């Protein structure tokens, strides 16, 4: 007999899905047959597989050791991948300096990501905020190596490598599903602060049309619709102006979220983001000695969520980094 206790990160999924992750080589028909015969039980009782498991549920498998290892076994390639993943989680936790958890509930985290770190993998060898997050939960004992085989916590959205600020991450299956739904429905407000050339003349909703060039990983904007272009929308608010009047801060609420949207849209409006190497003003960047773009996701606001009182209507915010206030003194 084998006994497993459902961890927090595994809760919320159907029992048959939990069993399939526990016994990946087993056919569904075999699992349902074992459930009918009470060779698999939940909390000592018969189950049909459609139940949703909860944290602390005890799942017992009345199998021979030979049967268990037959259906739970991994190939050598799968075992190596799992070992490589664990090594990457620990390496990211130790090497990605500046990453931190800003806010946390049982199911969701809001992370701070410094500029220069990828949110999620672009290549197999990348160490990203995603690996840091899992490594940090492992080190704190909030997930285990075994629980990762049935659910892996992950970052739910992305920031460009050189954009700093707040990232959303699901600690549990429940949290990941909640964030996915809110992001899909665009009910989470993400607020950005930027230091730009000049002073914004027109506040409010800005609409443009974006075409992405996959070969150069750049985008072009147009004022009117055209073939192949997708509409983008941003709400802009004017902020403080520098002493010289050459620079200012701009606050943005993303209504759509496309590649390089803010960087390209501010440049299209004649107010490129300071420090931006792709769409920015090279002369201003050199004059201010800026090694990176001054673009930060500084605030997220969760919608009203009656089912999640710890998150409902919650605002999570970080102070404006010193580089932005320094520009105002210029």
Q: Mind listing the pLDDT tens digit of every residue in the chain (330 residues)?
A: 888 888 887 888 999 999 998 888 899 999 999 999 999 999 999 999 999 999 889 999 998 878 887 887 666 676 677 788 899 999 999 999 999 999 999 999 999 999 999 999 988 889 999 999 999 999 998 988 878 877 899 999 999 999 999 999 999 999 999 999 999 999 999 999 999 999 998 899 999 999 998 888 889 999 999 999 999 999 999 999 999 999 999 999 989 888 899 999 999 999 999 999 999 999 999 999 988 899 999 999 999 999 899 999 999 999 998 989 889 888
Number of H helices, E strands in the chain: 9, 14
- Evaluate whether 143 touches 7 at the Cβ level (below 8 Å): yes
Q: How far apart are CA 101 and CA 53, in angstroms?
A: 28
CA distances 101 to 104, 122, 150, 187, Å, are 7, 23, 24, 22
Give the CATH number of domain 2-72; options: 3.40.50.720, 3.10.580.10, 3.10.290.10, 3.30.1280.10. 3.10.290.10
Residues 70, 74: Cα–Cα separation, whole Å: 9
Distance CA 65, CA 173 (A): 29
Give me the architecture of the 189-328 domain, per CATH: 2-Layer Sandwich (3.30)
Task: Please tell me the number of Cα atoms within 13 Å of 194 on its side-chain side.
Answer: 34
One CATH from 3.30.2350.10, 3.40.50.720, 3.30.565.10, 3.40.50.10800 for 76-185: 3.30.2350.10
pTM for the whole structure: 0.79
Catalytic residues: 160
């Amino acid at each position: 007999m084998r006994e497993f206790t459902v961890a927090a990160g595994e809760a919320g999924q159907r029992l048959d899905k939990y069993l399939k992750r526990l016994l990946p080589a087993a056919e569904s028909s075999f699992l349902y047959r074992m459930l009918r015969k009470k060779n698999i039980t939940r909390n000592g009782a018969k189950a049909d597989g459609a139940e949703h498991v909860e944290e602390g549920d005890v799942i017992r498998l009345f199998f021979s050791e030979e049967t268990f290892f037959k259906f739970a076994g991994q190939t050598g390639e799968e075992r190596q991948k799992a070992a490589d993943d664990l090594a990457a989680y620990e390496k990211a936790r130790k090497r990605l300096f500046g990453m931190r958890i800003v806010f946390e509930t049982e199911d969701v985290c809001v992370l701070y990501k410094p500029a220069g770190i990828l949110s999620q993998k672009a290549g197999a060898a990348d160490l990203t905020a995603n690996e840091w997050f899992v490594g940090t939960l492992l080190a704190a004992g909030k997930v285990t190596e075994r629980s990762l085989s049935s659910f892996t916590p992950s970052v739910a959205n992305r920031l460009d490598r050189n954009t700093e600020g707040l990232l959303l991450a699901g600690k549990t299956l429940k949290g990941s599903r909640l964030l996915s739904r809110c992001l899909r429905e665009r009910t989470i407000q993400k607020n950005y602060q930027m230091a730009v050339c000049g002073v914004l003349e027109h506040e409010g909703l800005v609409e443009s049309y974006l075409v992405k060039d996959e070969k150069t990983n750049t985008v072009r904007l147009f004022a009117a619709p055209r073939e192949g272009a997708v509409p983008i929308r941003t709400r802009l608010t004017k902020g403080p102006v520098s002493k010289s009047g050459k620079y200012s801060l701009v606050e943005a609420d993303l209504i759509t979220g496309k590649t390089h949207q803010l960087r390209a849209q501010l440049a299209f409006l004649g107010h490129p983001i300071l420090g931006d190497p792709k769409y920015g003003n090279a002369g201003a960047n050199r004059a201010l000695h800026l090694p990176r773009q001054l673009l930060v996701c500084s605030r997220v606001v969760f919608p009203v969520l009656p089912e999640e009182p710890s998150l409902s209507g919650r605002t999570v915010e970080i102070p404006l980094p010193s580089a932005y206030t320094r520009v105002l003194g210029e």
